Amino acid sequence: MLTEVTNELIATARNHLATEEQLNAAAQAFLGEAVDSTKSDAEGALKSLCRHFDLDDPERGAFLALVCGVLVERGADPAVITEPLINRLSSLLKAAGELATAAEARLPAIVETSDSSDPFEIARGEVEETMPEQAIAWSALDRFWHPAIAVFSRSTAAREAALSLRDSAGKISQYHAAGHWISLILTVLDQEPILVIEPETSLGIVGRISGIVDNFQLNTLLMDAFPQASADLPRRVSRDAADVARGEGPQQTEESLTSVWNLYHWQAIRADRTLPSADQMDSSDEFWIWNEGVPADIALFEGYRVVLLGPPSYPRSWQSQRMFEGLPANLQCERVLTPAEIDEWLQRMAAAQATPLE
C-alpha cells in the first residue's frame, strides 16, 4: 500500500545511517506504488512527505522534495506542498546568499593571483570551510530547485506566493542553477495587460499575457495571434510552433522561427506617430525589446505592457521551444483596435515623451 512505502521512504530519509542506494531504493518503491494510486492517496502521501522538507540534513529533505516533484509532474496537486516548499527554499536561499556574499568578498584577491576561468568557485571553496551550514544549503539547492520549478510551472498561486523568494534567488543567480531558474520563473507575469500596435499598418490589439517566460516566446505568440492586413496572407508561424509556445505541444521541435518584426518599447514612437527606421537606431538602443529579455522588462504605459511592431532590420531566428516544459502560456487577444483608437494611443505616447517628467 502507498501508506506503507511512504512511511518507509520517510524512515529511510530520517535514518542518518541509510546509504544513498537505500534511499534510492525506497524512492523507487514509493514511486512504483504511486503509479497506481488514487489522486487522493497520492496527495495524502505528498502531505506526509512535505512535513520532512526541513530535516536536519537538508540533502535528505531535498531528496524528499524531489520525489514530491515527480508526483506533481504526474498530475498531483502542487498546492499540497507549496507552503512547506517555499518555507524551506527561503531558508536555503538565504544561507546560500550568505555564502555567495562571503565568496564575492574574496574575488578581487583571487582574480589578482589566479588565472582560473571560474574564480568564484575557488572563493566558494575557501569560505565554505568556515561556513558549513551555508555550504550544505548550497549543495541541497541542487536538488531543491527541480521540484520548485515543477510546482511553480503548474500553479499561478504558487508563483504568487513565492514572490518573496525572487530577491534571494537573484543574489545567487549568476553562480547557482537554483538561483537562475527560480528567479527566472518568478519573473513570469500572469493576466498582465498588454497593448500591441503596428503603426505602419494601423493594426493593434489589447489583451493579456500569462505564463510567458521570455520575449522569444512572446514574439512567437505575437506572430500567431496578431491580426494581418489581409486574410489571404500566409501564417507567420506554424500551428505546431504556436502549440509549443503555448505549452500544448512538445517542449521543443527542430523547427526554426524567424521574426517578421522589430519589437520596440512605446518610447520609440516619434511625433509623427511612426517608428524610427533601423538605420536610425544602433544595436545598443534602449528602445529595442530584446528577444533575450522577459515580458516584465517591457515598459508600461497607462497600465499596459506596450509592444510596438516595426519592420525587421535583419533576420532574427530561434528554435521552436519553451523554457519550462510544464508551464502553459497564453496571449489572449481581448479586442482588435480600430485605426482611430490606434492613432489616439500613439498620439498620447508621443505627447508623453514631450512632457518633462516631474
136-188 residue pLDDT tens: 999 999 999 999 999 999 999 999 999 999 999 999 999 999 999 999 999 99
Q: Using CA atoms in the order 212, 218, 223, 226, what is the torsion angle rounded to 10 degrees?
A: 80
Same-domain check for residues 222 and 160: no
Which among 167, 185, 203 is the end of a domain?
Answer: 185
In the chain, the amino acid numbered 179 is G
- Range of the structural domain that residue 155 is part of: 2-185
- DSSP symbol at 283: T
My answer on whether 176 and 231 are in the same domain is: no
Q: Which of 177, 171, 144, 152 is nearest to 78 (CA)?
A: 152
94 and 215 part of one domain: no
Q: Which residues of 95-114 are buried (b: 16+ CB within 10 A; e: fewer)?
A: bbbbbbebbeebeeebeeee
Do 177 and 204 sit in the same domain of this protein? no
CA 326/CA 192 separation, integer angstroms: 20
157 and 289 assigned to the same domain? no
Q: For residues 211 and 328, what is the distance between their CA atoms, to the nearest angstrom?
A: 6
- Based on the domain organization, do 252 and 179 belong to the same domain? no
Q: What whole-number distance in Å separates Cα of residue 55 and Cα of residue 310?
A: 55
- Decide: helix, strand or coil at residue 254: strand
Closest CA to 29 of 6, 47, 52, 51: 6
CB atoms within 10 A of CB 317: 9
Residues 319, 228 share a domain: yes
Q: Which helix (H) or strand (E) holds 304?
A: strand 304-310
CB burial of residue 34 (10 Å; 0-12, 13-18, 19+): buried
Number of domains in the chain: 2
- Average pLDDT value for the chain: 93
Name the pLDDT band for 313 (thresholds 50, 70, 90): confident
Dist. CA 98–CA 56, nearest whole Å = 19
Per-residue pLDDT at 357 exceeds 80: no
Final residue of a domain: which of 141, 162, 185?
185
Asked if residue 262 and residue 131 are part of one domain, the reply reads no
The answer on pLDDT for 282 being more than 80 is no
State pTM to two decimals.
0.92
Answer yes or no: is pLDDT of 15 > 60.
yes
Report the C-alpha gap between 235 and 232 in whole angstroms: 9
Check whether residue 200 and residue 308 sit in a common domain.
yes
Question: Model confidence over 48-74: pLDDT tens digits?
Answer: 999 999 999 999 999 999 999 999 999
Q: Are residues 96 and 152 in the same domain?
A: yes
Residues 54 and 94 grouped into a single domain: yes
- Amino acid identity, position 293: G
Asked whether residue 171 falls in the same domain as residue 280, the answer is no
Q: Which of 150, 168, 185 finishes a domain?
A: 185
